[in-house]
Amino acid sequence: MIKKLFLSIFALLVIFEEWLWDVLAIVGQWFSRILHLEKFETWLLGASANQALMTFLIPLIIVTPFNILVIFLFAHGAIIEAILLEIAVKLFCTLLIARIFRLVKTALLTFTWFEKIYYMISRVLHWAHDIIQHSVIYQESLKLKAMIKIELAAMKKRTQ
């Protein structure tokens, strides 16, 4: 019973991570088009490893003052505001990291230490997927995700 509960919670976390990453990648592309960042993204594709690393660290630099504000809000009893701000900041930061990572992954992997971390995280994610891929909750979420994609494609087609 406990194992089944643990696997269900684990499956939900993996599903959430998959869906969030997919959605944020699409939102990142949309923002890129809206903000006309094509030249910057082209530059990123050809950036050196050091430039790529500095660019990859920008979301962390941006989020730090907001994390300090979250701590301040918690300390002063504004729990709901702190949680909502933290969620918004994490989503924004993840969006930036996902977008930037897609562009500078090759350059970042030239750092041995980064390559080791990347492949370690990849192995953990593959392990997680192997564990939960046959669970009922995961299979149902895949069906739901496919239905949502079909519906979104149909909505997009109707608006064109």
Q: Are 16 and 137 a contacting pair, CB within 8 Å? A: no
Q: Is pLDDT above 80 for 53?
A: yes
pLDDT of residue 49: 92
Predicted local distance difference test score (pLDDT) of residue 26: 78
DSSP string, 41-68: HHHHHT--HHHHHHHHHHHHHHHHHHHH
Where are the chain's structural domains? 2-159
Query: pLDDT for 83-99, tens place per residue?
Result: 999 888 888 888 888 88
DSSP 54: H
Selection from 106, 117, 91 nearest residue 17 by Cα: 91
Residues in the chain: 160
Which one has a higher pLDDT value, 120 or 159? 120
The tokens for 68 are 């300090």
